[in-house]
Structures are given as structure tokens and as C-alpha cells.
Structure 1
Amino acid sequence: MLRGEPLTAIIPVRGGSKGVPGKNIRPVAGGDSLLDRAIKFARASSRIDRTLVTTDDPEMHAIATRQGVAAPSLRPAHLADDAATTAAVVEHVLAENAISVGHLLILQATSPFRRLTDLEAMCAAVEASDAEASVSLVAHDEPRPEKLKRIEGGRIVAYMGEGFEGPRQSLPQPYRLNGAFYLISVEAFMRERRFLPEGTLPFVMPEERSHNIDSRTDWAVMEAMIAAGAWELERYE
């Protein structure tokens, strides 16, 4: 529950990953798959009232069905290609399941290092504010946006404004979305059709819990950091 209303977790996964084939059902460090970890996270949270896995993949739908968290049907083809947005997928889930009140929590399976205490802290911060939404972030150190370049007419030009060549310590701290949590009221989402409406509350997480799996390199880094004991996976019953 959040603010006395139901909190629905939506786990969007699809087949045919190009970066890491079959990544969502691939075991992490010899244990649970990314999808299983996301489902177990949702079921272990005292905040989450209902969990729905939306997918176009029959195997992942079967996994979610066995655990009692599958959406009623496979995702339509037009919501499973590279052009489909998460917002459009969530709209479909809300309509298919007649969800019109409460709050939504988007849990990407590709964020395996988030913790239950992170979610609790995020929910508590939202309840202490008047924000309609909150999104998880991580500090971004390099490259700073002000130092980025582009090539125009065969020459190097600043990507932003006049560019910057001084020390990064003199620049304001930038943040990037880490993909762990997108939390928003159903009312705000249906009004805005996006996850970061004006006034969204930031929830900053540390680097070791912000790794997102998109490429083979991301997967290799994850496995190496776990093996080295630098990053730790939370365990669930």
C-alpha cells in the first residue's frame, strides 16, 4: 500500500533481446534469472499488493503464470517491437486489468541489485511529500554532458553550448535514471501518459545498486563484480 491505496507492480519483459539473447531468463551468477529475481522482489515487498508480468514471450509468460503473476494474455505484437514504449505497454496493462486507482511501480527485470529497503525508503519519501511520482537515479560522473562533443562538417564542436574544458568538480552534479524504480499514481500516469511528470521526486541510489543490464558488457561486468564480492545480490525466500 502507498498512501492507503493499492500499489501494483508491473514487470515488463519481452523476448528477442539483441544485446544479451535470452537475458531475462538467463541465470545470474548461477542462481535465479533476472525475471525470477524481479518477481521474488515484488512478492517479498510488504508495500506491493499486486504484481503483473507483461510479456510477448510464451516461455516468460509461462514462468509468470506458474508464480501467479502473469498478465491475462500475451502482449500484442504492436507492443513488442523496438518502437513500443513502456508507457504504451503500461496503458495496455491498466486497461486489460481494469486498474483505475492506486499507484504503479515499474520494476525492470534488468535491475537486479535494487533492495527492498530502497523501495521502502522511496515510498516513505513519497508519502512525506505531495509528489505524484518518484524515479530512481544514480550520480553520473563521466563523461559530463558539458564535455561531450559532436562532429559537424568534419570538425569537432561542443555538444552543449560553448563546451567546457575545466575540472568536472566545478560543474553541477548530473544524475541519470538507473532503471530500478518508476513510481507514479494511476491518476497522474493516465493524465500524463509518462513516468516523469513535472514535480517528480528524485530517489538517489548508490552505484553498486544501480547497474542495469543492456549489453554483453553489462552482463560481464555484473558477473565479475559479484565474483569479486564488490556487488551483492539480495536474497529472497
Structure 2
Amino acid sequence: MLAIIPARGGSKGLPGKNIKLLKGKPLIAYTIEAALNADMVTRVIVSTDDLGIATVAREYGAEVPFMRPVELASDSAKAVDVFKYTLKRLEEEGGGQIDSFVVLQPTSPLRTSDDIDQAISMFVDKNADSVVSYCPEQHPIVWHRYIADNGKLIDIFEPNKIRNRQDEKMTYYPNGAIYVIRKELINKDAYYTENSYAYIMDNNRSIDIDTLMDFKFAEFLITNKS
């Protein structure tokens, strides 16, 4: 299966994060290596607008067959449009018909090759429209509230009394590490249908780096992985 690693150069939360050295290795390299070592992945493409990212990506074995247009690398650009553009270009340039693909964000360095293979296998075995990686929410979702400008609490769900954590049903949230998707779903600007499934990942492998604190925590987790 084709793997697409989207990595634009204009990060605001942590400038240059995609090639920032994490324990001596560019952040994006962790995702490239995991994809290349996954048995179910046949091709690894990096979509970027940044020449520095493209150079690093090629050094670690990924393909960068073309650069991403500027209009698809802005803060307002939609990821779904990046995927549409990438698939169209690949097909036009001799890549053959692409029916499904896996998206691996470079900000998830602790996702493993085994995670990728298991998610793709689930997608195939269940004949799914999509498989998305999720991890357990640490606090019951019914504890969440909106906060008004004046600081007042506003219910998100129906008003309820807060119960003990163990009395609430476990909830999960997408960790951003893996998206296995049918192209026809992307063409509808969607990631989910009633035939979508969750691949559950442990929280320790679910870090999604957006800030310097996230980056430092990832360093801590890699250092203490054993």
C-alpha cells in the first residue's frame, strides 16, 4: 500500500519541527523508517513544499517525486486537498490506479512499523472504508465543559453529575498517527463512514508533536523506552 507522509515547512507551534533533531535524528526520519520497515507498505511518498524537508526525506529513503504547491501548504489549506493533489499527480505520472493509501503524519515518531501493518491489515480484513488510529482518553469525556468568556461553565452534553472515573465508559480520541483510507472517501471530503474502524494504540506511542513541550516529552519517552 502507498504511504503518504504530509510535511509542510510552515509550522507555527514549533518552527522547523519536521526536521528538528529528536535524539540526534530528524523528526520525520522516525516516520519514514517505520513506513519503510512496514511489510504492508510498498511505496513511501513525502508531500512537502520545503526543500530542506525534501532533502532530509530523500536521505532517509523516502520519495519526493514533486513539490507541493504553495497554495496547499498554507495554514488554511485542507489536508484532504493535499491528498487529492498527491494521488492525482502520482496517477498521472505513471503510478497506476490508487484505490487506497495510508497517511502517516511525521509528528507521531513513536508509532511503529507493527502499528502500521496492523492498521492496514484491519483495513483489508474488514473491507473497511477507513481505519484510524485512536488512543484511550485519560478522563471521562462527560467531565468536559465549554468555558464562557466570563469563566462560567457550560455543559457540552446533557447536564449530569460528575461520577467517579471507573463508573464512566471508556472513550477514545484520534491520535493522528495512522489513517488508512479509500480514495473514494477522500474524493467525498471525508475520513469516516459507518464502515470505519479504530486501530487502538497505547498512549505512550500516541504523542503528537505540536509544541516544544510535546517535543521534550517525546525525547523523554524515547530515552526511557526500555
Q: By the TM > 0.5 criterion, same fold?
A: yes
CA-atom RMSD, angstroms?
Answer: 1.9
2:159 aligns with: 162
Moved more, 39-48 or 151-160: 151-160
Contact kept, 8 Å, 1:183 with 1:195, in 2: the verdict is no
2:113 aligns with: 116
Separation in structure 1 between the aligned mates of residue 155 and residue 85 of structure 2, nearest angstrom: 41
Aligned equivalent of 1:84, options 77, 80, 84:
77
Structure 1 residue 220 and structure 2 residue 213: aligned?
Answer: no
Deviation at 1:67, TM superposition (A): 5.1
Separation in structure 1 between the aligned mates of residue 73 and residue 161 of structure 2, nearest angstrom: 40
Q: 1:178 to 1:8 in 2, by over 3 A?
A: same
Separation in structure 1 between the aligned mates of residue 138 and residue 110 of structure 2, nearest angstrom: 20
Aligned-residue identity in percent = 29
Q: Give matches, 1:174-185, under 5 Å.
A: 174-185=171-182
TM-score, with normalisation over the residues of structure 1?
Answer: 0.85
Separation in structure 2 between the aligned mates of residue 16 and residue 147 of structure 1, nearest angstrom: 35
1:12 aligns with: 6
Q: Give matches, 1:134-145, under 5 Å.
A: 134-142=131-139, 144-145=140-141
TM-score, with normalisation over the residues of structure 2?
Answer: 0.89
Deviation at 1:177, TM superposition (A): 0.6
Specify every segment of 5 or more residues in structure 2 that has no aligned partner in the other structure, as ranges. Answer: none
Three-state SS of the structure 1 residue aligned to 2:22 is coil
Whichever residue aligns with residue 72 of structure 2, its letter is L
What are the Cα deviations for residues 182-226 of structure 1, in whole angstroms up to 9, with x where unaligned? 001223333x32222332111101111111111111111112233
Separation in structure 1 between the aligned mates of residue 123 and residue 189 of structure 2, nearest angstrom: 20
Structure 1 residue 199 and structure 2 residue 195: aligned?
Answer: yes
Whichever residue aligns with residue 203 of structure 1, its letter is Y
Specify every segment of 5 or more residues in structure 1 that has no aligned partner in the other structure, as ranges. Answer: 1-6, 233-237
Separation in structure 2 between the aligned mates of residue 181 and residue 137 of structure 1, nearest angstrom: 9
1:4 aligns with: none
Deviation at 1:68, TM superposition (A): 5.7
Q: 1:211 to 1:153 in 2, by over 3 A?
A: closer
Contact kept, 8 Å, 2:32 with 2:61, in 1: the verdict is no
Deviation at 1:146, TM superposition (A): 1.3
Moved more, 104-113 or 169-178: 169-178
Whichever residue aligns with residue 47 of structure 1, its letter is M
Structure 1 residue 73 and structure 2 residue 66: aligned?
Answer: yes
